[in-house]
Amino acid sequence: MRAFAEAWPDLEFVSQALLAQWPWYHQLAPSEKLDNTDSCRWYAQKSIENHRPRNVLVMQIESGLHQRQGAAITNFATTLSKLQSDLARESIKDPF
Protein backbone atom coordinates (compact mmCIF):
# COMPACT_ATOMS: atom_id res chain seq x y z
CA MET A 1 0.00 0.00 0.00
CA ARG A 2 2.85 2.37 0.73
CA ALA A 3 4.41 1.79 -2.71
CA PHE A 4 1.00 2.38 -4.31
CA ALA A 5 0.55 5.67 -2.44
CA GLU A 6 4.02 6.81 -3.50
CA ALA A 7 3.42 5.81 -7.14
CA TRP A 8 0.07 7.61 -7.35
CA PRO A 9 0.35 10.77 -5.19
CA ASP A 10 -2.47 12.64 -6.97
CA LEU A 11 -5.57 11.77 -4.90
CA GLU A 12 -8.01 13.14 -7.50
CA PHE A 13 -6.44 11.01 -10.22
CA VAL A 14 -6.66 7.89 -8.06
CA SER A 15 -10.22 8.30 -6.82
CA GLN A 16 -12.11 9.87 -9.69
CA ALA A 17 -10.29 9.57 -12.96
CA LEU A 18 -8.57 6.66 -14.65
CA LEU A 19 -7.53 4.51 -11.73
CA ALA A 20 -11.06 4.22 -10.40
CA GLN A 21 -11.89 2.33 -13.63
CA TRP A 22 -8.90 0.01 -13.34
CA PRO A 23 -8.80 -3.24 -11.33
CA TRP A 24 -6.44 -3.38 -8.35
CA TYR A 25 -4.11 -5.93 -9.99
CA HIS A 26 -3.67 -3.59 -12.98
CA GLN A 27 -2.82 -0.69 -10.70
CA LEU A 28 0.10 -2.56 -9.18
CA ALA A 29 1.92 -3.22 -12.48
CA PRO A 30 2.99 0.34 -13.35
CA SER A 31 3.62 1.29 -9.75
CA GLU A 32 6.03 -1.65 -9.40
CA LYS A 33 7.80 -1.23 -12.74
CA LEU A 34 7.89 2.54 -13.33
CA ASP A 35 9.27 5.42 -11.32
CA ASN A 36 7.81 8.22 -13.45
CA THR A 37 4.27 9.34 -12.57
CA ASP A 38 3.66 10.66 -16.09
CA SER A 39 4.55 7.29 -17.59
CA CYS A 40 2.27 5.52 -15.12
CA ARG A 41 -0.54 7.86 -16.06
CA TRP A 42 0.06 7.28 -19.80
CA TYR A 43 0.01 3.48 -19.45
CA ALA A 44 -3.13 3.65 -17.31
CA GLN A 45 -4.93 5.80 -19.87
CA LYS A 46 -3.94 3.62 -22.84
CA SER A 47 -4.78 0.41 -21.01
CA ILE A 48 -8.28 1.62 -20.13
CA GLU A 49 -8.92 3.06 -23.60
CA ASN A 50 -7.97 -0.20 -25.30
CA HIS A 51 -9.23 -2.65 -22.62
CA ARG A 52 -5.83 -4.30 -22.30
CA PRO A 53 -5.37 -7.21 -19.92
CA ARG A 54 -2.68 -6.96 -17.26
CA ASN A 55 -0.22 -9.29 -18.98
CA VAL A 56 -0.30 -7.12 -22.12
CA LEU A 57 0.16 -4.02 -19.97
CA VAL A 58 3.22 -5.53 -18.27
CA MET A 59 4.68 -6.56 -21.64
CA GLN A 60 4.19 -3.04 -23.00
CA ILE A 61 5.82 -1.47 -19.95
CA GLU A 62 8.79 -3.81 -20.18
CA SER A 63 9.21 -3.16 -23.91
CA GLY A 64 9.06 0.63 -23.40
CA LEU A 65 5.95 1.36 -25.47
CA HIS A 66 5.66 4.88 -24.04
CA GLN A 67 9.10 5.83 -25.37
CA ARG A 68 8.55 4.10 -28.73
CA GLN A 69 5.07 5.50 -29.41
CA GLY A 70 5.11 7.69 -32.50
CA ALA A 71 8.83 7.29 -33.04
CA ALA A 72 8.60 5.26 -36.25
CA ILE A 73 10.37 6.88 -39.19
CA THR A 74 8.16 7.09 -42.27
CA ASN A 75 8.18 8.86 -45.60
CA PHE A 76 4.46 9.64 -45.49
CA ALA A 77 4.94 13.42 -45.39
CA THR A 78 7.14 13.45 -48.50
CA THR A 79 5.28 10.90 -50.63
CA LEU A 80 1.61 11.45 -49.76
CA SER A 81 -0.70 14.43 -49.66
CA LYS A 82 -1.26 16.10 -46.27
CA LEU A 83 -4.62 14.38 -45.69
CA GLN A 84 -3.37 10.95 -46.74
CA SER A 85 -0.17 11.40 -44.74
CA ASP A 86 -2.13 12.17 -41.56
CA LEU A 87 -4.46 9.23 -42.18
CA ALA A 88 -1.57 6.83 -42.78
CA ARG A 89 0.23 8.01 -39.64
CA GLU A 90 -2.91 7.56 -37.53
CA SER A 91 -3.58 4.08 -38.95
CA ILE A 92 -0.15 2.94 -37.72
CA LYS A 93 -1.00 4.08 -34.19
CA ASP A 94 -4.27 2.08 -34.15
CA PRO A 95 -3.85 -0.72 -31.55
CA PHE A 96 -5.97 -3.10 -33.58
pLDDT digits (tens, 9 = 90+) for 55-93: 888 888 888 887 777 666 677 778 888 888 778 777 776
pLDDT value for 13 = 62
pTM over 0.75: no
Find all residues with CB under 8 Å of 22, minimum gap 6, and list them: 44, 47, 48
The DSSP 8-state label assigned to residue 53 in this structure reads -
Q: How far is CA 18 from CA 54, 58, 76, in A?
A: 15, 17, 34
